Amino acid sequence: MTKLKVGFYNITGCAGCLLSVIFNEDEILDLVELVDLKAFPFVKEVNAEEKFDYVFMEGLVADKDDLAVLKKIRKNAKNLVALGACACTGCVPAYRRYTLKENYEHLIHKKKNGIQDVKPTPIDAHVKVDYFIPGCPPDKKEILNFIKSIVIGKKPVPYESPVCIECRQNNNQCLLDLGKPCLGPITSGGCNAVCINGSFECWGCRGPTKDMNFELMIKMLKDRGFDDIFIENRMRTFVGLKMPIIEKFIDIELKALKLNTKFKGKKDYFE
Amino acid sequence: MTKTITLNHITKIEGHASLALGIRKNKVVKCELSSTEGSRYFEGIVRGGKYYAAHEMTSRICGICSCAHVIAAISAIEDAFGYEPTKQTKLLRELLTLGERIRSHATHLYFLALPDYLGYDSALAMAKNYKKELQNALNLMKTGNGIIKLLGARDLHPVSATVGGWLKFPKQEEIEELKKKLLDVKDDAITTCKLFFSLNYPDFTTKGRWSCLMDSKQYAVLDGNFCSKNLCTHKHNYRKFLKEHHVPYSNANFVTVKGERYYVGALSRLNSNNSQLSKDAVKMLKKSKVMLPSKNPYHNNIAQAIEIVHCIDHAVNICDKLEIKEEKLDKLKVKSATGFGAIEVPRGTLWHEYTLDSKGTIKNANIITPTIQNLLNMQEDIRELVPTVLHKKKKNIIMDIEKLIRSYDPCFSCSVHFLEVKWI
């Protein structure tokens, strides 16, 4: 049987998703035997620019260079896999689009020829993406299972139940019950509820479930004393670009607030 | 005539950077090392957010040193509010940081540095002939990751450390278990030292100053004054000490101490703090036959190997001290203030600074990562290295430059892509 030609690349990001591939410490050496590893510039000197069966792409498009690399790789790849939150949703760097320009203006400087910022965007805003492995970073076992699936010719199936399912299985105390702003009910699981296992509320990094009850989520948060600004910021931190629905619910009031630029917090979550 | 050679995609570093070199009559007429990583504007993104969100967001600056950004951000916020964490919290933060140093050093040494010295394309390609060595690396990485997962709930971007304390405590028996695992990989750390001592390092002397935190109580981790040669500063005065210069060809800034270039990282720490190493680390240092202070940047690999031994010993020591109590999160007195965090992380000293208003909203943030501090010294080292290797074949010159860059263990994700060396 011929092995699948596989490449691992990254554009602008933190390398955390590529590390999550390598951090499968018990399996990584066998794993690379299962495929024909053609490119992995993070750990490999010679990286063939040829046709791939699968390319795993970490990172978001933040400048024109990213876009050029992404487009070239898309042309060479039968299947493009968006690896991790930056590639899938734009993650925290794309949250910049919801902050005031005056917040980061001072950091922008004139750059050398060739480097030019673009709107921070997930990769599917520019090219067709065949598979998504969400998470900041994805569960390393999830990456492993994905690769095992494609090697035996099975189509990988995304996990679609909310985080709450795994969280309940782990017998965690419900953080919403404790008054914390946990986004577990509307967020796709598959992460083994890892943050809540550590008593930290879900910030929604894996993106919304298809059948989320958004209205109820907002109500639950408001009942716990969180205001529109807080809810908007929290929901947009990791997946803002994939949750346009937020605008329908809270934007009118928000715009008014932003014009005031005054923080009218009703309740602060630690205070 | 200027010699123009182009080499694309220098690999095996974290993030993306490029080097433009011009050589005329055996002289380097242009040498520009720049970060080409897309700008993410983290310092801007956290503005307008709340103090308790800073570490969760800045953690995303870097995968391999996410714990570092978490702890540095928390320290800075607590510093602003004048809060002193409990003894247990400090020990847990230290242990988390040490776990990260073990996994980061092991990953860098075996996956990014070693293939250069053994003549391989990648560590993964070494699996056939060097399976035992790779297994050492993976054991160390697994143990480092194990510490982070136990304390922080996840391998990357840990969540349990927070402002005012700890969200979820490990069980006492888990700490005992962790101690056993640490003792189990001690041999792997010793073998790593022996392997990296046996490699052939180029002879080169950097002109930069070595700099790091120095703590009178122990080999510096989270506390101490920042020292460069005989000059020291408390973190509160760092702005007077470190100067950031913008360079037009790069996405990153250059940083100097009193106008001079400097470097941070494992070698700096070894040069300054070797008297505080653990017994076994001292034994290894003697075996290495490296005379300290060493100004050879390639020795950073040796220093990292020795640090792994030290970090394991230090971590075991912390496990012995820890008697886990469930402590409640402390409430911080939110006020308008500026706070500073300076800690030693795998690649050197990491600085976080936040200015907050009376409601705890972040008004300004400044982050200086180790790679940014090393950037100028790396560039100038290359400028000085190139004339000494010009008699070599082009391929070998490039190899020497790449080895030099990789020995600094740069993380261009942090600093603001495939390393493209453009010879112009």
The domain of A167 spans 163-260
Q: Which residues of chain A have a CB within 8 Å of the CB of B8?
A: none
Q: Note the pLDDT of residue A38.
A: 94
Q: Which residues of chain A have a CB within 8 Å of the CB of B167?
A: 198-200
Question: Does B120 share its domain with B179?
Answer: yes
Residue of B115, B157, B251 lying closest to A16 (CB–CB): B157
Residue of A22, A109, A137 lying closest to B246 (CB–CB): A109
Number of domains in chain B: 2
Tell me the nearest-neighbour CA distance from A177 into chain B, angstroms: 16
A271, part of any domain? no
Question: How many whole angstroms separate alpha carbon B193 and alpha carbon B201?
Answer: 14
Say if residues B112 and B406 touch (Cβ distance below 8 Å): yes
Question: How many whole angstroms separate alpha carbon B293 and alpha carbon B343?
Answer: 22
Range scoring the smallest mean pLDDT among A104-113, A160-169, A211-220, B301-310: A104-113
A21, part of any domain? yes
Question: Does B237 share its domain with B281?
Answer: yes
Residue A250's alpha-carbon distances to A67, A170, A220, A268, B361, in angstroms, are 32, 33, 14, 18, 21
Question: Does A63 share its domain with A111?
Answer: yes
Tell me the nearest-neighbour CA distance from B58 into chain A, angstroms: 9
For chain A, the residue count is 271
Question: Does B371 share its domain with B383?
Answer: no
Question: Does A142 share its domain with A182?
Answer: no
Question: Does A137 share its domain with A209?
Answer: no
ipTM: 0.92
**Are the Cβ atoms of B124 and A37 closer than 8 angstroms?**
yes
Chain centroid offset of residue A238 CA: 7
Q: Which residues of chain A have a CB within 8 Å of the CB of B125?
A: 44
Q: What is the pLDDT of residues B318-364, one digit of tens each?
A: 999 999 999 999 999 999 999 999 999 999 999 999 999 999 999 99
Question: Does A250 share its domain with A145?
Answer: no
A157, part of any domain? no
Question: Does A136 share its domain with A195?
Answer: no
Q: Note the pLDDT of residue B5.
A: 52
Question: Does B145 share its domain with B64?
Answer: yes
At which of A97, A126, A151 does a domain end? Answer: A151
3-state secondary structure of B117: helix
Which residue of A200, A206, A238, A268 to mutate against B (max B Cβ within 10 Å)?
A200
Which of A90, A121, A110, A86 minimizes the C-alpha distance to B251? A110
Number of domains in chain A: 2
**Are the Cβ atoms of A198 and B15 closer than 8 angstroms?**
no
Question: How many whole angstroms separate alpha carbon B13 and alpha carbon B64?
Answer: 12
**Are the Cβ atoms of B39 and A43 closer than 8 angstroms?**
no
Question: Does A147 share its domain with A167?
Answer: no
Q: B136 to chain A: nearest residue by CA?
A: A25
Question: Does B59 share its domain with B33?
Answer: no
Q: Which residues of chain A have a CB within 8 Å of the CB of B418?
A: 41
Q: Which residues of chain A have a CB within 8 Å of the CB of B160?
A: 198-200
Question: Does B249 share its domain with B350?
Answer: yes
Question: Does B229 share its domain with B320?
Answer: yes
A16 at B interface, C-beta within 8 A: yes
3-state secondary structure of A20: helix
DSSP collapsed to 3 states, B155-211:
CCCCCCEECCEECCCCCHHHHHHHHHHHHHCHHHHHHHHHHHHCCCCCCCCCCCEEE
User: Domain holding B100: CATH number?
Assistant: 1.10.645.10
pLDDT class for B88, splitting at 50, 70, 90?
very high
- Helix A245-260 to helix A214-223 angle (10° resolution) is 40
Residue of B53, B168, B249 lying closest to A199 (CB–CB): B168
How far separated are the first and last CA of chain B, in Å rounded? 11
Tell me the nearest-neighbour CA distance from A227 into chain B, angstroms: 14
Q: What is the pLDDT of residues A110-164, one digit of tens each?
A: 655 556 788 999 999 999 999 999 999 999 999 999 999 999 999 999 998 999 9
B79 at A interface, C-beta within 8 A: no
Q: Which residues of chain B have a CB within 8 Å of the CB of A233?
A: 49
Question: Does A87 share its domain with A174?
Answer: no
Question: Does A112 share its domain with A46?
Answer: yes
Question: Does B262 share its domain with B298?
Answer: yes
Question: Does A62 share its domain with A191?
Answer: no
Q: What is the pLDDT of residues B159-213, one digit of tens each?
A: 999 999 999 999 999 999 999 999 999 999 999 999 999 999 999 999 999 999 9
Question: How many whole angstroms separate alpha carbon B261 and alpha carbon B403?
Answer: 20
A65 at B interface, C-beta within 8 A: yes
Average pLDDT (A33-59) is 92
Residue B96's alpha-carbon distances to B75, B101, B319, in angstroms, are 14, 9, 11
Q: Side chain identity at B9, as an amino acid letter?
A: H
Label residue B168 left, alpha or beta by phi (over 0 means left) and psi (-120 to 50 means alpha). Answer: beta
pLDDT of residue A243 exceeding 70: yes
Q: Which residues of chain B have a CB within 8 Å of the CB of A237?
A: 53, 57
Q: Side chain identity at A129, as an amino acid letter?
A: V
Q: What is the pLDDT of residues B29-48, one digit of tens each?
A: 888 887 777 788 888 899 98
Question: Does A178 share its domain with A53?
Answer: no
The domain of B178 spans 42-375
B3 vs B288, more confident: B288
**Are the Cβ atoms of B131 and A29 closer than 8 angstroms?**
yes
A:227-256 residues touching chain B, CB 8 A cutoff: 233, 237
Q: Note the pLDDT of residue B412.
A: 74
Percentage of chain A lying above the pLDDT 90 cut: 72
B256 at A interface, C-beta within 8 A: no
Q: A27 to chain B: nearest residue by CA?
A: B138
Question: Does B237 share its domain with B382?
Answer: no
Question: Does A179 share its domain with A247?
Answer: yes
User: Domain holding A52: CATH number?
Assistant: 3.40.50.700
Question: Does B393 share its domain with B291?
Answer: no
Q: A32 to chain B: nearest residue by CA?
A: B124
Question: Does A116 share its domain with A218?
Answer: no
